[in-house]
Amino acid sequence: MTDLILTEDEYRQLVQCEDGKPTTDSLKVAEKFGKRHDNVLRSIDSLKCSKKFRLLNFEESSYINEQGKLQRMFTMTKDGYMYLVMGLTGKKAAIWKEAFIEAFNWMANELTFRSMSYEQRRNYLMLEYKQEKSLASFAGKTMRRWQLKKPVIEGKLLAIEQSGQHTLLLN
């Protein structure tokens, strides 16, 4: 499967913050999964979930289409999204399921970070800084090790290859 690497801006295009919670909508789901919006609406309408689950995770709203007409759509939570796309199959569906989940998680982390005090945010960022610095240092050390070992290993390989070559004795 091909990994889909998204930027923060692309995450923002998939999910938004509504009343302090990450949400997406039926238009985005239809677009990213290559489905017609009316089919996505029909799928939401026919979900076999409880009334409580539907009320908590799907909110009917509307938008104005290109022709200036009011059209219905749904805003949904991460749980609503997961319930809706659970049955979608195929390679493209798998890629976008994962991308939306990552976007929801990214938005939740952003909301958590913004609710932290100044000191908590500073400590969080300092921890991330130290972890990344340590990782970069480790990568540098392993790169140096490779620089030292590479010529030795290549030399040994060359010697083995040369000793393994059969020579023809010509008289």
- Write down how long the chain is: 171
In a domain, residue 92? The reply is: yes
State whether 107 and 152 are in the same domain. Answer: no
CA 68 to chain centre: 33
If you search the block for the tokens 């059969």, which residue do you land on? 166
Q: Per-residue confidence of the chain (171 residues) as pLDDT tens digits?
A: 556 666 777 777 778 878 878 889 999 999 888 889 999 999 999 989 999 999 999 999 999 999 999 999 999 998 898 888 887 767 776 777 777 788 888 888 888 777 778 888 888 889 989 999 999 999 989 998 999 999 999 988 888 888 877 777 776
State whether 122 and 51 are in the same domain. Answer: no
Which of 74, 92, 115 lies at the terminal end of a domain, its last residue?
115
Domain enclosing residue 122, as ranges: 118-165
In a domain, residue 96? The reply is: yes
Mind listing the pLDDT tens digit for each residue in 116-161?
Answer: 788 888 888 899 899 999 999 999 899 989 999 999 999 888 888 8
State whether 107 and 135 are in the same domain. Answer: no
Which two structure tokens, joined as six digits, stand for 163?
């000793």
State whether 40 and 99 are in the same domain. Answer: yes
Name the amino acid, one letter, at 66.
Answer: E
